[in-house]
């Protein structure tokens, strides 16, 4: 069968700010599962700067029997437009959607878009492969685990599928079907790798533990190195971002992988994430020696009350200690912060802004608390009638979509802008000119804050 996998044309806040986007690895994993039996094509509309008309021409030329679309919450209306486009071209073509949003809202999705035939829920590789094979052979799909079926606008939700125990059984993503030359920052190619799935924590704003389970599962060290070797040798990539929820969750594994990177002669620089309470001197020393230049910490707030609401199970003091360890071994530290939780006060947000400057990080990312489907915050907001809009385009973490007790929407947007300006326009910060190894610029203070500030003003 001809199978077209695509990420739809959309407006990306990330690309608007930093000028690039990362590979849709989810599609590459799906392609790797079926490419030996079927003709597969991947379209990354965002990387290619494709318009709807560009995608329409591709659909017409390739003439797929099945179209699989990945979508985040903010992209849902773009996904619906592509689904309709597919049916306009061939009403018998099957449209399959996957991703976190549709995993948790299958009924609403079918109601909003009758052109979607199937939803692959949760961890999708095996479900997707079984569905494609069933469609090819004309078999019944009603017993495929993890699948939701559109039956006259109503969802038939098959039982969930068990998570894949051994991640090494999943083939390496089909990088060769992606436009790998398009993923660049400041002219330097970069790659992304996911070495593990599952998160034992349950932060109120994140659906990862619901999507991929609370049991952590990791690829073997050798499999990680094999994937890095492909990116290094075939695509000449020297910059890697590990996209694991928490790369250092298994600290000894993180140390081993860092050591293997250098032992294998992979002259790469890379970044990864860690919880502040899972970052040790041993880890910092090993990943620095292995080529890591930046560690991403989910600090989230300077208010313990807010951290407790989030369910983060950390303290501000642990954040300070973790950043000190990173700086001790000359690692850049990027801290993420979230403001605008329903009961949060102005004093608590001010405490977070002040803490972002005190904690010692090199870079800060601020976002507005957003109740994504599948998260605890979604359930909290729905039960209290706090959702302001179901216009999914607004679910960007830069737009307010919840009623807040102590802020209007405009006020919380101004607080977000204040947070960025306060952090990046400090005289001490502007004296820095911070670069990553190999000359890759992570974020020049002045240019980035101008972009961020202008983008927020447009919102």
- Give 145-200 pLDDT, tens digit per residue: 999 999 988 999 999 999 999 999 999 999 999 999 999 887 888 999 999 999 88
Q: Where are the domains of the chain?
A: 2-157, 183-458
By C-alpha distance, which of 14, 13, 85 is closest to 43? 85
**Band of residue 81 on the pLDDT scale cut at 50, 70, 90:** very high
Q: What is the mean pLDDT of the chain?
A: 91
Q: Where are the extended beta strands (E) located within 127-231? A: 147-151, 154-157, 184-185, 188-189, 191-193, 196-197, 217-218
Assess whether pLDDT exceeds 50 at residue 436.
no
Fold classification of 183-458 is TIM Barrel (3.20.20)
Mean pLDDT of 264-288: 96
- pLDDT, residue 184, reads 87
By C-alpha distance, which of 334, 403, 343, 394 is closest to 363? 334
- pLDDT, residue 439, reads 35
Higher pLDDT, 73 or 213: 73
Determine the Cα–Cα distance for residues 426 and 394; give it in Å rounded to an integer.
30
Mean pLDDT of 383-397: 96
- pLDDT, residue 19, reads 63
pLDDT (tens digit, 9 = 90+) per residue, 232-243?
999 999 999 999
Q: Where are the extended beta strands (E) located within 108-185? A: 118-120, 147-151, 154-157, 184-185
**Band of residue 430 on the pLDDT scale cut at 50, 70, 90:** low
- pLDDT, residue 433, reads 46
Assess whether pLDDT exceeds 50 at residue 449.
no
pLDDT (tens digit, 9 = 90+) per residue, 344-363?
999 999 999 999 999 999 99
Assess whether pLDDT exceeds 90 at residue 18.
no
Mean pLDDT of 13-23: 69
- pLDDT, residue 14, reads 64
CB-CB neighbours of 27 under 10 Å: 24
pLDDT (tens digit, 9 = 90+) per residue, 112-145?
999 999 999 999 999 999 999 999 999 999 999 9
Higher pLDDT, 71 or 378: 378
2-157 belongs to which homologous superfamily? Response regulator (3.40.50.2300)
Which residues on adjacent β-strands are paired with residue 7?
44
- pLDDT, residue 451, reads 44
- pLDDT, residue 150, reads 97
Compute φ and ψ for 202, nearest 5 degrees: -145, 60
pTM: 0.90
Domains 2-157 and 183-458 share a fold: no
Determine the Cα–Cα distance for residues 150 and 153; give it in Å rounded to an integer.
6
Query: β-strands 66-70, 2-7: how paired?
Result: parallel
- pLDDT, residue 445, reads 39
Mean pLDDT of 357-379: 95
């Amino acid at each position: 069968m001809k199978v077209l996998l695509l990420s739809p044309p959309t407006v990306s806040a990330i690309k608007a700010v930093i000028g690039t986007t990362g590979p849709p690895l989810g599609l590459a994993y799906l392609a790797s599962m079926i490419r030996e039996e079927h003709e597969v094509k991947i379209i990354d509309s965002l990387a290619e700067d494709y318009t709807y008309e560009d995608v329409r021409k591709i659909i017409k030329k390739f003439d797929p029997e099945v179209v699989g679309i990945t979508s985040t919450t903010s992209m849902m209306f773009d996904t619906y437009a592509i689904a309709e486009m597919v049916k306009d071209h061939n009403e018998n073509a099957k449209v399959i959607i996957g991703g976190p949003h549709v995993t948790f809202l299958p009924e609403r999705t079918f109601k909003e878009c009758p052109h979607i035939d199937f939803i692959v829920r949760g961890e999708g590789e095996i479900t997707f492969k079984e569905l494609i094979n069933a469609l090819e052979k004309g078999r019944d799909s009603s017993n495929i685990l993890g699948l939701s079926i559109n039956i006259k606008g109503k969802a038939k939700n098959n039982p969930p599928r068990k998570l894949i125990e051994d991640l090494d059984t999943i083939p390496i993503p089909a990088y060769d079907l992606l436009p790998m030359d398009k993923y660049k920052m400041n002219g330097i190619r970069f790659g992304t790798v996911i070495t593990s799935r599952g998160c034992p924590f349950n932060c109120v704003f994140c659906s990862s533990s619901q999507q991929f389970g609370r049991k952590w599962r990791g690829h073997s060290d050798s499999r990680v190195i094999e994937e890095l070797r492909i990116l290094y040798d075939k695509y000449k990539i020297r910059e890697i971002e590990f996209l694991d929820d928490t790369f250092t969750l298994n600290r000894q594994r993180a140390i081993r992988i860092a050591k293997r990177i250098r032992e294998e002669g992979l002259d790469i620089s890379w970044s990864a994430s860690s919880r502040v309470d899972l970052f040790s001197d041993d880890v910092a020393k090993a990943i620095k020696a292995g080529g890591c230049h930046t560690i991403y910490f989910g600090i989230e707030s300077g208010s313990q009350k807010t951290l407790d609401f989030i369910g983060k199970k950390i303290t501000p003091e642990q954040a300070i200690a973790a950043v000190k360890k990173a700086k001790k071994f000359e690692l850049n530290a990027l801290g993420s912060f979230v403001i605008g939780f329903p009961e949060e006060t102005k004093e608590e947000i001010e405490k977070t802004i002040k803490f972002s400057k005190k904690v010692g990080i090199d870079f800060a990312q601020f976002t507005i608390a957003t109740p994504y489907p599948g998260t605890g915050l979604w359930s909290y907001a729905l039960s209290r009638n706090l959702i302001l809009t179901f216009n999914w385009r607004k679910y960007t973490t830069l737009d307010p979509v919840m009623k807040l007790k102590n802020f209007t929407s405009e006020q919380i947007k101004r607080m977000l802008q204040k947070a960025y300006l306060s952090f990046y326009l400090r005289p001490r910060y502007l004296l820095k000119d911070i670069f990553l190894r190999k000359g890759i610029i992570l974020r020049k203070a002045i240019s980035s804050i101008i972009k961020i500030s202008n983008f927020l003003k447009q919102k």
